[in-house]
């Protein structure tokens, strides 16, 4: 594989004039290089790394925690589990299942994974359902219902459901519940999306299916609905051994910074996210510029989605315009397989920002906290579950609030370090893959032990 130049290369612009900073003088920054080095990314995705084994996590969570998983699983010996979702590759659900299923199988809870099939008409309908359930306007036509039900029925006929526990992920395959036959079998609906404000027509159509399940799972309390069945809280999680989160040699971190033109001798403020207005990238630049009136720092905006998404390209253009000729703002539009580079940039950062104004759970926040970084994030979606203000990070509601927290954390390193340490422990306790395995084992044990459907 040859490294190639990414689209992030920019000509070295002139430094922003100090007179733009208003009446407060800025500390003198160190001399700039003549020209920023050309950032490089890999042309094609690297080969996948083998899935970690359970014992690989002992060094992270401790042997006692792994032993507890084995004890929990021992009660489920011989039981079988099926996971069903709508895609085998791409997206957070498939990524999570790829990590979770080998660990469940290693614990001898035999777990199968089936992916539903459907034509373009089906996936157009389910995409519309997905958006409508998260609050978009939508009129549910009889044709859309028929397409949804027909493809669920075709999948029901094609698939076998002989396992002790069947887990259906998200709305697309929700009507497979009609395959339920064996009375001791348990069916679980795992909802990965925000149902706090669903389109009433779509939710009214899906709800009768959902209430036939034995339990539903949501990613945060605020994403749930009032249902007649038990609802459980499963936070999304990260894998500490994945490319995106594993420990890295400092030499690699330095190499990535050199390639991307990031100066590690000065404070680095980073936001990692798609170029999406919900992540308020322009607001991040504004906050950075306000903060830099008081403290020397650089801003790294690392993301993707600008090449295959017209809206992403438009947002990237806005971001470049907002950055202007500022050499301290480094904008990186990276392909999706740059997990190691993202990891390195996060590890090189002094502070990580996720100034979202709408958010799902916000796993980039989890990643930042795991790396022990003082993190500033918008108080939306699942972020308040992760950031307890002033204890595990800083929650903000505005550009000004974000600017203030950048200044404060850069000038109070002991406090910032404590936030980072607490954030790391918070993730270790609540948002790691091993905790996710524990939750699945517990839920299976609880449901299989319950006497009625």
Partner 1 sequence: MTSAMAPTLAHTSVKPFYFNTSAHLVRITRQKASALAEFLDALRECPESSIFQHSFRTLQEHHFIREGFSNDFAHWALSACNEPSLAEGLASVDVREFTSVAELRERFVQIVQTFLQRNPTAGARTAKETFYFCASDTVVIPTSFVANTLHEFAEGLRRVSVHSIHHHFIEARLRLKLMSNDFSQWLYEDMGLTEAARQLNRLDIYTVTLDDVRAQIIRIVERALI
DSSP of 141-174, one letter per residue?
A: -HHHHHHHHHHHHHHHHHS---SSEEEEESSTTG
Query: Distance from CA of residue 434 to its chain's centroid?
Result: 17
Smallest distance from partner 1 to CB 438, Å: 6
If binding means CB under 8 A, how many residues of this protein chain bind partner 1?
A: 35
Q: Which is nearer to partner 1, 286 or 430 (CB)?
A: 430
Report if residue 108 touches partner 1, rule: CB under 8 A: no
Token code pair at residue 186: 């348990």
Contact string (CB under 8 A) for partner 1, positions 417-436, x = contact = ----xx--xx--xx------
Tell me: does residue 391 bind partner 1 (CB under 8 A): yes
Q: Is 401 in the site for partner 1 (CB under 8 A)?
A: no
Strand ranges of the sheet holding 351-354, from the earlier edge strand across to the other edge: 329-333, 298-303, 268-272, 351-354, 375-378, 394-396
Which residue, 42 or 232, has its beta carbon nearer to partner 1?
Answer: 232
The CA distances from residue 138 to 126, 129, 237, 306, 433, in Å, are: 12, 8, 31, 27, 35
Beta pairing class for 186-190 and 215-218: parallel
Nearest CA among 263, 261, 271, 128 for reference residue 202: 128
Q: Which stretch binds partner 1 (CB under 8 A): 59-67, 96-104, 158-166, 335-343?
A: 59-67
3-state DSSP assignment of residue 117: coil
Shortest CB 372 distance to partner 1, Å: 12
CB of 120 to partner 1, least distance (A): 36
Q: What's the rounded Cα separation, in Å, for the pair 335 and 304?
A: 6
Bridge-partner residues for 268, per DSSP? 298
Query: Pick from 204, 412, 442, 453: which binds partner 1 (CB under 8 A)?
Result: 442
Our CB check for partner 1 shows the closer of 139 and 390 to be 390
CB atoms within 10 A of CB 445: 15
Stretch that binds partner 1, among 93-101, 110-118, 217-225, 330-338 (CB under 8 A): 217-225
How far is residue 104 from each of residues 107, 152, 297, measured CA to CA in Å?
Answer: 5, 27, 44
Q: Which residue of 29, 91, 102, 230 would you call a contact of partner 1, by CB under 8 A?
A: 230
The dihedrals phi and psi of 216, each to the nearest 5 degrees, come to: -120, 155
Is 445 one of the binding residues for partner 1 (CB under 8 A)? yes
CB closer to partner 1 out of 341 and 422: 422
Site of tokens 């003549």: 34
- Considering the rule CB under 8 A, would residue 59 count as an interface residue with partner 1? no
- Of 127 and 389, nearer to partner 1 (C-beta) is 389
Q: Which residues bind partner 1 (CB under 8 A)?
A: 62-65, 67-68, 71-72, 218, 221-222, 224, 226, 230-233, 384, 388-392, 421-422, 425-426, 429-430, 438-439, 442-443, 445-446
């Amino acid at each position: 594989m040859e490294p190639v130049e990414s689209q992030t290369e920019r000509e070295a612009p002139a430094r922003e004039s100090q007179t733009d900073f208003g009446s407060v003088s800025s500390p003198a920054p160190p001399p700039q290089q003549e020209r920023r080095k050309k950032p490089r990314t890999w042309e094609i995705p690297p080969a996948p790394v083998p899935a970690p084994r359970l014992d690989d996590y002992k060094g992270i969570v401790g042997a006692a925690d792994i032993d507890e998983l084995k004890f929990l699983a021992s009660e489920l010996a011989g039981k079988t589990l099926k996971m069903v979702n709508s895609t085998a590759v791409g997206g957070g659900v498939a990524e999570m299942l790829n990590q979770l299923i080998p660990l469940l199988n290693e614990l001898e809870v035999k777990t199968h994974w089936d992916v539903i099939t459907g034509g373009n008409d089906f996936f157009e309908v389910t995409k519309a359902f997905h958006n409508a359930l998260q609050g978009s306007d939508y009129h549910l036509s009889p044709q859309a219902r028929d397409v949804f039900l027909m493809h669920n029925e075709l999948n029901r006929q094609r698939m076998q459901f002989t396992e002790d526990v069947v887990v259906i992920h998200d709305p697309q395959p929700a009507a497979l519940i009609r395959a339920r036959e064996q009375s001791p079998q348990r069916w679980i609906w795992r909802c990965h999306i925000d149902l706090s404000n669903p389109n009433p027509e779509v939710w009214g159509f899906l709800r009768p299916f959902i209430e036939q399940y034995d339990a539903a799972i949501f990613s945060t309390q605020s994403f749930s609905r009032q249902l007649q069945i038990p609802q459980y809280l499963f936070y999304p999680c990260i894998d500490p051994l994945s490319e995106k989160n594993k420990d890295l040699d400092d030499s690699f971190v330095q190499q990535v910074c050199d390639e991307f033109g990031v100066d590690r001798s000065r404070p680095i403020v980073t936001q990692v996210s798609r170029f999406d207005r919900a992540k308020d990238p322009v607001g991040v630049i504004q906050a950075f510029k306000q903060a830099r009136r008081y403290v020397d720092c650089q801003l790294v905006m690392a993301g993707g989605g600008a090449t295959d998404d017209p809206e992403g390209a438009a947002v990237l253009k806005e971001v470049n315009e907002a950055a202007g000729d500022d050499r301290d703002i480094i904008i990186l539009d990276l392909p999706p397989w740059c997990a190691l580079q993202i990891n390195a940039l996060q590890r090189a950062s002094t502070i990580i920002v996720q100034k979202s104004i709408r958010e799902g759970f916000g796993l980039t926040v989890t990643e930042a906290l795991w790396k022990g970084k003082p993190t500033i994030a918008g108080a939306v979606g699942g972020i308040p579950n992760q950031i307890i203000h002033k204890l595990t990070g800083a929650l903000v509601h505005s550009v000004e609030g974000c600017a203030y927290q950048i200044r404060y954390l850069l000038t109070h390193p002991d406090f910032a370090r404590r936030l980072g340490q607490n954030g790391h422990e918070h993730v270790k306790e609540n948002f790691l893959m091993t905790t996710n395995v524990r939750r699945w084992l517990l839920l299976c044990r609880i449901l299989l032990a319950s006497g009625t459907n």
